[in-house]
Amino acid sequence: MPSQSQDNEAAILAAFKKEIEDRLKKWERWWNFYMYTTYSLGVIGVICSTLAASELFAASAPKWFSLVSALCFAIIGFVRPEAKYRNLVRAWSELKAAKDAYLFHAIEINELLHIFRECQKIATEDDIQTTIVAPGQKSSPDVGPKVAPAQKSSLDAGP
């Protein structure tokens, strides 16, 4: 018979797993919203801009098309739905991979919890800059592929 602390631990773990699933679903819904918003406003803005520049309509129509186009591009520039979309996709991908790794016993619960917290930061950032670092490691400001210094060749010598 399991002890009360084991029951509590199992309940906490089940709640955490549910929270991960809920977060994944929520992020996927929001990333779809931001993706469709970006494309819809962009297409409407381009169409209205094109119609405003054309001579297909009465004299007052181009002003309305210009206004709608300007509003579409202002919303895209101010709200930045594309950046929000990319952050949510990245956070979702990282958390989904960590969840799967945990389910296949490739990582421990503490690492999953750490990744969950980092993914929450990624999902809410204005720009994608966060790199997930394993617990206990320090982040490096020069994250990215290491490139060896270029070797001088005989062509570099010049005449």
Structure tokens belonging to residue 142: 């020069």
How far apart are the C-alpha atoms of 142 and 30, rounded to whole Å?
31
Structure confidence by residue, pLDDT tens digits, 82-131: 999 999 999 999 999 999 999 999 999 999 999 999 999 999 987 655 55
CB neighbours of residue 33 within 10 Å: 14
- What tokens does 63 get? 């002003």
Q: Is residue 80 part of a domain?
A: yes
Q: What is the pLDDT of residues 20-31, one digit of tens each?
A: 999 999 999 999
Rounded (10°) CA dihedral 17, 21, 24, 25? -160
Q: pLDDT tens for residues 71-87?
A: 999 999 999 999 999 99
Q: Is residue 144 part of a domain?
A: no
Residue 105 lies in a domain: yes
Query: What pLDDT does residue 24 have?
Result: 96
Any domain includes 89:
yes
Give residue for tokens 């991908």: 93
> What residue numbers bound the domain in which 15 lies?
4-133
Q: Are 92 and 122 in contact (CB under 8 A)?
A: no
Domain for residue 155, yes or no? no
Number of domains in the chain: 1
C-alpha–C-alpha distance, residues 22 and 29, integer Å: 11
Residue 59 lies in a domain: yes
